Each structure stands twice: as structure tokens, then as C-alpha cells.
Structure 1
Amino acid sequence: MAEPKQTDEALASVLPRYGISALKPEQRKIFDCLMRKDDCMAILPTGYGKSLPFQLFPAVASFLPQTIGLRRHVVVCCPLRSLMEDQVEFLSKIPDITAGFKGSDDAMDQLIKDGCIDIIYASPESLLGDPEWRELMRKLKVAVIVVDEFHTISTWGEDSKGTEKCAFRKWFGHIGELRSMYPEASMLALSATCTLKVRKRVMKILSLRPETTVTITVSPNRPNIKLTAVKVSNILEMAMSWIVDGLSTLQETFPRTLIYCRSITDVSKLYAYISEELPECVQHLEMFHSETTDSSKEKVLDAVKNKESPIRLIIATSALGMGIDFVDLHSVVLYGPPNTNLELIQEVGRAGRDGDPSVALILSNSYHLHHVDSEVKAIFTTSECRRVALMSSFLNPPDINLLMKETGKHTCCDICYSLCKCKECEFLPLEQLFQAPSVDEESASEKDSDVTEDYNLSDYEDILWSP
């Protein structure tokens, strides 16, 4: 291990290449773990820069006396092609660092095999599912194993019963085998959001020892996002008519809004309903799911990054989410909550990335809650604070107690708003448009035997990924 002074001097020389002058405290803790060869689990918000420590590692190591002239690779197991492309593009601009991902092209694959790439990105399928590639990778001298977006080990690598029998991408459940491929390497597990249950499960799969693994966390609570949960009619057109009214009136000034639906069918139905009612507004409307055409996908991906885009309303499945930078988005609507609080907090968190006041409307009809777990149901059934109900999945009891002292403001959730006596409460533009549709009593009491939409795991697939 390098002396602290040597490491500080090396960092001071390397950081300007990355366009920064200093690391944030949590970034430095991660980096120090890598230098000490300790395992680390870091749960930090999107945009925090949690990838920077391992991206710095090869450059800093090249300055240290004991590692000069030695190449020690960093292997990054990443779930999505789009994430790998973005990080490789960023690193390609850094002097004296090489980065690439398996599957980008034959030339890059050969460079990785020859040991010429410092930071190697690959999907679990590439690292573990291809026997020939796995054997070639085993021969490399790897200093750090990074598991990016580690919560996907549980959500994609296992089915709802904790097995891989019906897993969406089964090789996510085998990522722990990387430890046996590189027994001397330290392991860094990264995620923006992770429930306490998933954290415990992933530590077991990755063979991280709780007593020796350094855990670095920042609360996933986003106090700038007001949470509102409302029961709506079973009839989609009745539940979402307020969107039509608002878009008809405001058109290009409609607040930029992302609507998440639980199935491709619901996305298509809602898109068809709005476009048929408002043919004059179709230029302000788009949809996104795993079956959307490539040209439309690119149009949407450009729109969410450009606040000047004419597109004001995007209707999507969760395929639009992970690894995407949502700019100037302060309104998210969930037409039906997802199955778990992990997915819910990710979808809610697409709003307010800039810290400005935002709102998340979580709408549910009498069928939506049939498929969700008890933690999601608690958000709808609580009579106290919805934020506390949501955060109970992510925070330990002491942190929940601290959170309870901070909640109760009118900007916290709709329940806190109803109890607020400040008389100064202000609604955001989407809240002003939203008037809770009255639940049709007959539809609300319909029996479970009625047809409901099945949830399809293909909705969760990032469309830019390929093995």
C-alpha cells in the first residue's frame, strides 16, 4: 500500500486531467478503499460521481513507485450498453488512460484480450456466460472488480422467489463468481438506490463480509420532490383526462412531464388516447418502451437531455430510466406503482435532478396494487407521512427517526400538505393541472376476475443493451 503522502501527490497530479481539483469526501473514501485493497459498497445518488474513484485508480497507480511499469486492470461489470458507452466516451478524452467495452467491435475485443486496456467494461453475460472469453479474461492481472448498478443482481438476476428459474437476465445472479476469477482483487459495488433487503442479499452473492467491507451511503431521500398518492378510476381515459385538458390548454408551455406505465399496452393506450383527443398536439407527445422504433427512441433520448425540446410529455415503461440524464424535468406521474420500492424510488427520482421543487404523482386504480409488495402498499395505506413510509425500505431506524423530525412540511407529501397550517402552500404547475378524478364506485368494486394487464419483464430491458 502506498504512503498517504505519495497517494495525495499522485492524486494532485492526476485530478486536473479529469477536470476537477478535489474529490468529494465519499469519493475519497471509495478511492482509499481501492488503494488499501479493501472491499467497498457505495450507495450514492445519481450524478454524485461514484464512478470517478475507480476511473482514477489506474492513472494514480502509474505514479506510485511500487506500481510504475505494472498494468493492473480494472474490470467493470455493467448492466447496460448505454452506460458503458457513456463512460468509455468520457475516459477516451483523458490522457494516458485506455478504456473500452467488450462487444464494441472486434478491434477493441482484441486489445482487451492482449491486456492493452486499463479499464475494461463488460456485461455479466460477456464476463461469465461466454466460456472462451471468461478463460481469456481470467489471465489478466486485475486489481479492482467493479459491479456497477449492483441492485440489478437482485432485480434482474433472480425472480420474485429469489431464484434464477425465471430470471430476466440470469447471469446477473452469477456476478459473485468474479471473486473466484480474481481472488486478489478488491471489489467495489456501486448503486444509486438500494433497499436494506437488497443490500443484504447482494453482499451475500458477492461474498462481501459485512464486518470488513466498507459501506458508504448517502440517503436516497430527495426532499425537493413532493410525493402525492391518489386512487383513480379503473378506466384509463377517466383517470388521465386531466392530462388531456392541460395539454390542450398549455400545449408548448405544458410542464415537461414523464409518465410511467406498468406495461407496454398501457403506454400504447394512453398515447393513443391523448393523440386521438389532441391531434394538434402530437408534436409535444412521445412514447418509449422496448418495442419503440429506433428513430423514436433516439428522439426521446435527445429530448430528455434538451430542455428546449418541443416534446413536453413522454409516456414510457421503465425501459426509459437507468443511466439517462433527465434535464429540466420536475414532474413525474406513475400510472400504477411498480412492484417494489426500489423501482418506485428510481422512477420518482427522475424528477428534480437539479434540486429544484418537483412533484411525483403516484396514481393507482383498484387493480394496480395486486402485484406490488407490502412496502409499496404501505405508501398508499399510511395515514401519516408517505415519505417516511417510502424511506423505511432504505434507511435504518436511527435515520428514519431523524427523517421524521424533518418531515411534516407542505412540500413533503399530500398528507403533510393536508395537515399544514402555513396558508402559504404553493402548487407546482402539474399539481395545478391535476384534480383527482373521482373514483367510479362501480369500477372500483369490480372483481379480480376482470381482465388486467400482465407485467412483462421485457419492459425493464434497456434497449441499447446487447450481450
Structure 2
Amino acid sequence: MNQPTDILRKVFGFPGFRGVQGDVVARVLNRQNTLAVMPTGAGKSLCYQLPSVVLEGTCVVISPLIALMHDQLRAAEAVGIRAATLTSADDNRAETIARFRGGELDLLYVAPERASSSHFRELLSQAKIALFAIDEAHCVSEWGHDFRPDYRLLRPLLDSFADVPRLALTATADAHTRADILEQLGIASDGLIVAGFDRPNIRYAISPRGNMTRQLSDFIAENPGPGIVYAQTRAQTERLAEALAKTGRPTRAYHAGLDAPVRARNQADFVASEDMVICATVAFGMGIDKPDVRFVAHAGIPKSIEAYYQETGRAGRDGDPAVAHLFWGADDFARARQRIGEVEPGRQAGERARLTALGALVETAGCRRAILLRHFGETPPERCGNCDNCLNPPKALDASVTAQKFLSAVFRTGQMFGAGYIEEVLLGRSTERSMTNGHEKLSVWGIVSGEETALIKPVHRALLLRDALRANPHGGLEFGPGAKPILKGEARVELVLPPARRKGRRGAAATPNPIGNPLFEALRTCRRDLAKEMGLPPYVIFHDAVLRDMALIRPSTLSAMGEISGVGAKKLDAYGDAFLAVIRDAA
């Protein structure tokens, strides 16, 4: 059983490679250095796990987070791969080092900080190394959205074992970042394999933020299964978790300010759950490989399109339908511009370009997926059929005249009042303040009426997004660099008006699971009981897709069950009899 396809079938239970997996594995087995850019859920980890079984020696996997390593360790051990982690959180380090020196490990997971140390390099010289796998490789690039300086210290380690092939893996890298990864890790340009970035099972949707708690409550009510809500502050994660708990769904908060045991327990509860919502800061998610996340919601804008792609990519890793919904406000963009002003000057131009690209994504009346894929250098169709704008096209309206009126009112009132007061001036609503200030005599007093009234708030939001308006420290509005072109008629302000919301519609995260099928539910119960007994997340035992096939095929023997995709030899031996008993009882 030394052929890759035989091992794929016997160990992992898969009948064939998916996408570019076969090409990547072939390069690794031919000892060729490779950078593989593959979308989340495309099976990147198999590209080093399978070679670790075939090749003589240990595959050293460099990964950025301890939680991610432990998650991948569980998955590797579940299929019979001899694996270990060597981290500060492990109390069996001496045992792991002994196993490594004795040639008893297929996989060894370490963090970049350890991998770049001279002590670790000395340890590696005491055993045979089969492969270096650098996971989340975009962390090596200053152009990447998750830059980790320790990744840039890996090159000396790799070069000191020049005869050992190196495999870099990432789901998120534009052309500039890919070039930087190749250079930093010493991989030739002909070693690049790009699988494409499309995640067709994810439905993308973006909405202006209103009542955030109500919007999120409605959203999770329509989308069953586990989900992640990304908040922008630690306090917001806790507020949202408390509010969303009132919907009846189990919820948890997750952020770096929680006590370590609480944080670990909340993460473990979420990983093991089949319906929990976790409200977290953006650091959460890279540390888990939970495949059955049915939705990701953002309660504010991410740092960039790259960050958005990676964060939304944590949904639907099992290939079943999932939803990514972003709720945004113009103040998000204002705060982001303020943060850009605080970074070193050399990075400001790149950060501004990222923010502009993100603004185009939230404002478009066209296909969201097409904008995402074009950002990564692809040429997608004009419509995908699985984003909010394709499923329910919005109306686009030229609001340039209303925008000019709004800007004029800001200017003529002295660039010192907030949006609410500017709206009163435009609508001609007399107040003691407007009389005292003498603003009722201005030419902009009451110049908006009728249907145009409904455009004031979205125009204000659009002007903030375009940096035509900025909020001063006292909350008043003042001109930004985008104001003058709009006032002079050199730049248009086009609004995208969302269509009426369709109430009562079940979310697209509804999986193709056979709802109401007693056998499928019994198989899930069996999986849940086994997972609890063994201290594992349910998905480590079998994915929902495997249980669906069991319910459909109804295998009556272990041999027949072993033919189902995702049922490898180790899992068949460990769990096969339990699931066969459930199927027999349902006959």
C-alpha cells in the first residue's frame, strides 16, 4: 500500500483526490518545493498528511496557533497517523522528543517561534526529516493581512536542510503576497499552484447596519447550526453573546481578555457543539478547523478583502451550504482611516488601497463573489447566483445632487454639527438651536423634501465611506478629501438601495441533511454519544456528509460501510460496529 491513491482510500477513506490535491502531493513526493494556494475547505492538510505516511521520516508542520495544531492533531490521530505537537501548552514534551528521535512520528506540529530557534534546529538534526510544511504561509509576507515576523525567520532553518522539500500552504494570498511568499521561503516561481479562490457553497450577503442586535437575532433564527459572529471589540463580543442568548440558542463569547480557562472552555464548547453561536474577536477561527460552521456574521467591517475572505472561509468547510453576512456602518470606515493614520508611513498607501477595495465590495450593486474573485486575480462570470445581489438584485440610484446638498449644508453651517442637525437643516425643521444659530436663513434650509427625504441617511453613510466627510473629535462633520470632486460634479455618488427583506425565508445555510429522517437523526445521536465518550468533537468521528450516505445506502456489513467516502480503515475499526447497529435497529 505505497501508492498515494491506495493510502488515500485506506487511511483517509476517500476514493480520489479533489481539485489540485493530486498535483500538490505528486510534487511533494517528487521532493519539489511548492506553494499551494487553495481555498479553505479544499483539503490543504491532506497535502502534507498523506506524504507524511508515504515518506520515510517526520513531516515538520509549522503552524501559527496552538489551538489549530491541537485540532489538526486530533484529526490526524483519528485516521491513524502518528502525530504530536511540541508547544508550550503540552506537558508531554519529553515524550514527544523521544518519539521524534526514535522515528516514531509521521507528523510533528510546531509554532514558528520554536521552529526558528537554534535549539530546534539542533533537535531536527537528530532524526530524519521528510518534509517541511508551512501552514498559513501568508503570515510570512508583510503584504499579507496576518503578518507574523517569526515566519520571516524560517528561511535559515529551511536552507540548513536544503535536501528536504518544503510545502507552503495558504488560502489567502493575492498576486503580490504570493510573490513575497515564494521569495521569503526560497521556492521557485514554477513551484506555484493556485487552485482558485471560489467557495461556491458560501452565500455572501452585505447589509447596512441598523439595530445590530435585532438584525443578528433575525439572522441566526434563519440559520440553524453552529455559527461565528465577529465583533470589533471585546466588550461587543460579550454584549452580543448576552443578547443573542435570549433567542434560545446557546452562545459564548471569545476574546483575549477572558481568563485562559474560560476562553479554552468556550472554544471547546463551540467546537463540540452542533448549534452554538460564538461571538468573538477576529483572532478566533484561525485556531480551529471546525468543518460544520454554517454561518459567519460580521458586526462591522474586517481589515481588508483578504481578511474578509479568510474569516468568511471558516464557514462551510465541509462543503455543505453556508452563509456569510456582513453588517457595516460608515463609522467603521471612518475608524479604519483613523487607524491607517497611526501606522508607519510606508504601509499607509497599501492600507488605503485595501480599504478602498473593501468599500467597493460593500457598495456594489453587482455580484459580490465576482468582486472577491477579481481581487485575487481571477476572471469570474458577471453573476454567481449565490450572493444577495444576484438572488435579489438591488436598485442603483444616482444621488449626486442630494450629496451636494448635504455637503453644502455641512459647509454653510460651519463644519461643526453632527448628521442629525444637518438633516434638520435640510428638511427645514425649526428648533431653538437652528433659530439661535441663524441657520433658518441659509440657502440650504429646507431644500430637501418629498421622496428625497429618504436619501439623507444613506447619502450621509455614502459620504463617510468615500472620505468626503469625516467626524471631528466632538462629533461634528467636516470635509474630507473626497468632498470637493462631488461638489464640483466631478464624482458621482451612486446609492445601492437594498430590496425589501423577504421575511420567513429559511437561510441558505440550511444543509442538505434529510430533515425528519429517523435514521439520519439516530446516526447523529450515535455520533454525539461516541464523541462525548471519547472526548472528541462530533465532526472528528464523521462529517454529516458521511452520515447522509450511511442513511441513504444503509450498509449492512463493515465491508460495505468501508466503501463510503470518508470512512477510512482506522475509523471503520473504531466506530463501524456502533453505526451498523444503529442501521440494523432502524431496518
Q: TM-score, normalized by length of structure 2?
A: 0.58
Instruction: State the match for 1:430 in structure 2.
Output: none
Equivalent in 417, 434, 450 of residue 392 of structure 2: 417
**2:175 aligned with 1:196, yes or no?**
yes
Given that residues 255 and 263 in structure 2 are in contact (C-alpha distance below 8 angstroms), is that contact kept between their aligned partners in structure 1?
A: no
TM-aligned CA deviation for residue 243 of structure 1: 3.4
User: 2:473 is matched by which residue type in structure 1?
Assistant: S
CA deviation profile, 1:156-188 (whole Å, cap 9, x unmatched): xx488x9xxxx9742122222332121111111
Instruction: State the match for 1:225 in structure 2.
Output: 202
TM-aligned CA deviation for residue 246 of structure 1: 7.3
SS of the aligned residue for 1:449 comes to coil
Equivalent in 83, 88, 102 of residue 86 of structure 2: 102
User: 1:146 is matched by which residue type in structure 2?
Assistant: A
Equivalent in 74, 82, 92 of residue 67 of structure 2: 82
CA deviation profile, 1:375-434 (whole Å, cap 9, x unmatched): 22221243433222222222x3xx41xx124x163x3233662259xxxxxxxxxxxxxx
User: 1:267 is matched by which residue type in structure 2?
Assistant: T
Given that residues 72 and 143 in structure 1 are in contact (C-alpha distance below 8 angstroms), is that contact kept between their aligned partners in structure 2?
A: yes
Q: CA, structure 1 residues 90+440, in 2 after alignment: closer, same or farther (shift >3 Å)?
A: closer
Instruction: State the match for 2:42 in structure 1.
Output: 48
Q: CA, structure 1 residues 159+59, in 2 after alignment: closer, same or farther (shift >3 Å)?
A: closer
User: 2:358 is matched by which residue type in structure 1?
Assistant: V
User: 2:169 is matched by which residue type in structure 1?
Assistant: L
Instruction: Give the root-mean-square deviation of aligned CA atoms.
Output: 3.7
CA deviation profile, 1:217-267 (whole Å, cap 9, x unmatched): 33222233332323335xxxx3433335778xx69x977543211222332
Pairing of 1:358-369 with structure 2 (within 5 A): 358-369=322-333
Q: CA, structure 1 residues 40+448, in 2 after alignment: closer, same or farther (shift >3 Å)?
A: farther
TM-aligned CA deviation for residue 447 of structure 1: 0.7
Given that residues 229 and 280 in structure 2 are in contact (C-alpha distance below 8 angstroms), is that contact kept between their aligned partners in structure 1?
A: yes
**Unaligned runs of at least 5 residues, structure 1:** 1-5, 62-70, 421-437, 452-467
Instruction: State the match for 1:206 in structure 2.
Output: 185
Output the CA distance in 1 between the equivalents of 2:224 and 2:130.
50
Equivalent in 242, 250, 260 of residue 230 of structure 2: 260
User: 1:414 is matched by which residue type in structure 2?
Assistant: N
User: 1:194 is matched by which residue type in structure 2?
Assistant: A
Output the CA distance in 2 between the equivalents of 1:54 and 1:348.
24
Instruction: State the match for 1:464 in structure 2.
Output: none
Q: CA, structure 1 residues 383+447, in 2 after alignment: closer, same or farther (shift >3 Å)?
A: same
TM-aligned CA deviation for residue 125 of structure 1: 0.8
Q: CA, structure 1 residues 362+450, in 2 after alignment: closer, same or farther (shift >3 Å)?
A: farther
Equivalent in 350, 357, 365 of residue 375 of structure 1: 357
Q: CA, structure 1 residues 414+11, in 2 after alignment: closer, same or farther (shift >3 Å)?
A: closer
Output the CA distance in 2 between the equivalents of 1:265 and 1:244.
18
SS of the aligned residue for 1:404 comes to coil
Instruction: State the match for 1:334 in structure 2.
Output: 298
Given that residues 246 and 254 in structure 1 are in contact (C-alpha distance below 8 angstroms), is that contact kept between their aligned partners in structure 2?
A: no
Matched residues, percent identical? 24
User: 1:343 is matched by which residue type in structure 2?
Assistant: A
Given that residues 127 and 134 in structure 1 are in contact (C-alpha distance below 8 angstroms), is that contact kept between their aligned partners in structure 2?
A: yes
Instruction: State the match for 1:136 in structure 2.
Output: 123
Instruction: State the match for 2:100 in structure 1.
Output: 112
Equivalent in 302, 322, 327 of residue 269 of structure 2: 302
Pairing of 1:8-47 with structure 2 (within 5 A): 8=3, 12=6, 15-24=9-18, 26-47=20-41
SS of the aligned residue for 2:392 comes to helix
Q: CA, structure 1 residues 224+89, in 2 after alignment: closer, same or farther (shift >3 Å)?
A: closer
TM-aligned CA deviation for residue 94 of structure 1: 5.5
Equivalent in 138, 144, 150 of residue 137 of structure 2: 150
Output the CA distance in 2 between the equivalents of 1:257 and 1:31.
32
Q: CA, structure 1 residues 181+115, in 2 after alignment: closer, same or farther (shift >3 Å)?
A: farther
TM-aligned CA deviation for residue 85 of structure 1: 2.1
Instruction: State the match for 2:57 in structure 1.
Output: 72
TM-aligned CA deviation for residue 14 of structure 1: 7.5
Aligned pairs, how many? 388
Q: CA, structure 1 residues 203+373, in 2 after alignment: closer, same or farther (shift >3 Å)?
A: farther
Instruction: State the match for 2:254 in structure 1.
Output: 288
Instruction: State the match for 1:460 in structure 2.
Output: none
Q: CA, structure 1 residues 132+450, in 2 after alignment: closer, same or farther (shift >3 Å)?
A: farther
Output the CA distance in 2 between the equivalents of 1:34 and 1:43.
15
Given that residues 40 and 314 in structure 2 are in contact (C-alpha distance below 8 angstroms), is that contact kept between their aligned partners in structure 1?
A: no
SS of the aligned residue for 1:373 comes to helix
Instruction: State the match for 2:437 in structure 1.
Output: none
TM-aligned CA deviation for residue 373 of structure 1: 2.7
User: 2:371 is matched by which residue type in structure 1?
Assistant: A
Output the CA distance in 2 between the equivalents of 1:89 and 1:352.
20
Output the CA distance in 1 between the equivalents of 2:26 and 2:177.
25
Equivalent in 473, 477, 482 of residue 449 of structure 1: 473
Output the CA distance in 2 between the equivalents of 1:284 and 1:42.
37
TM-aligned CA deviation for residue 122 of structure 1: 1.0
SS of the aligned residue for 1:361 comes to strand
Instruction: State the match for 1:433 in structure 2.
Output: none
SS of the aligned residue for 2:172 comes to coil
Larger radius of gyration between Structure 1 and Structure 2:
2
Instruction: State the match for 2:150 in structure 1.
Output: 171
TM-aligned CA deviation for residue 55 of structure 1: 2.2
Larger deviation, residues 13-22 vs 179-188? 13-22
**Unaligned runs of at least 5 residues, structure 2:** 337-353, 396-455, 476-587
